[in-house]
Amino acid sequence: MLKATLLKATEAGAKILQEYFNGTFQIDSKSTANDLVTEADKKAETAIFSVIRETYPDHYILSEEAGELSTASNIKWIIDPLDGTVNFAHGIPLCCVSIGIEQDGKMIMGAVYNPFMNEFYFAEKGQGATLNNKPIQVSAKTDLAKACLVTGFPYTWEEEDNDPVTVFGRFIKQGLPLRRLGSAAIDLCWVAAGRFDGFYEHKLNAWDSAAGFIIVEEAGGKVTDFKGNYFSPHQKKIIASNGKIHEQLLQAVAGF
């Protein structure tokens, strides 16, 4: 039942994204001029909520635009109705709906759907990860020097020793291919699918990472914070990899 509702809610959100993508829509700024929210983010969020509420009127919801719809429930829906809003606003079809479900503080299911590439990722704890219903696995790469990596940048950041520019520079100086797609959920799913060998980002929110986190783990990958400790989607800093290059990636992000 939970799985069916998750898939239905994800599809309902994605349908809205498709409806708006080629048309004109309202775009507003949030924390900075380029931290955007569009009409599609909000409409997709409403469509997702109505699917969840039909079956689960009492479940806790945490969603990017609406915030917390809190009730006393041990099940938490963590929702990004549109991950990759800046891409979406510029007509770049690298964006998706991302929904994770946490039970008693542990991720149990995740779904990420990019309708523009017709790619639906899903994972359930202990059941593996799939792309369009076919099992996926992380890559087999063991050498960071031959890896293809991806990262993302926050809309704003405070100065710190290991800020995103410093870390990015380190990879560039090593001549490593480091991409930036603009959707953390897709970044994580592409690690799960073996397209990327690793991903790191400094400042994510729970709705960016929740679904992708369990999809990477269930595809055989590893997800930690920047120190190699257990990752929870409620933490900002994330490193995800195929597991085999994880230690090397940790060192690279912390400084060679």
List the binding residues for Mg(2+): 64, 80, 82-83, 208
User: CB under 6 A: which stretch of 12-20, 44-52, 126-134, 147-155 binds ligand IPD?
Assistant: 147-155
Q: Residue 181 Cβ, how far from ligand IPD at the closest point, in Å?
A: 7
User: CB under 6 A: which stretch of 54-62, 80-88, 190-198, 240-248 binds ligand IPD?
Assistant: 80-88
Q: Residue 140 Cβ, how far from ligand IPD at the closest point, in Å?
A: 26
147 in Cβ contact with 140 (< 8 Å)? no
Asked if 182 touches ligand IPD (CB under 6 A), the answer is yes
Token duo for residue 41: 């983010």
Asked if 201 touches Ca ion (CB under 5 A), the answer is no
Provide the strand spans (E) within 30-181. Answer: 36-38, 60-63, 67-69, 75-83, 96-103, 106-114, 119-124, 129-131, 134-136, 149-152, 178-179
In this complex, which beta carbon is closest to ligand IPD, that of residue 89 or of residue 244?
Answer: 89
Asked if 110 touches ligand IPD (CB under 6 A), the answer is no
State the DSSP code for 14. H
User: CB under 6 A: which stretch of 104-112, 133-141, 176-184, 223-231 binds ligand IPD?
Assistant: 176-184
CB atoms near residue 227 (< 10 Å): 10
What's the Rg (C-alpha) of the chain?
Answer: 17
Asked if 97 touches ligand IPD (CB under 6 A), the answer is no
180 in Cβ contact with 153 (< 8 Å)? yes
Task: Enumerate binding residues for Ca ion (CB under 5 A).
Answer: 64, 80, 82-83, 85, 208
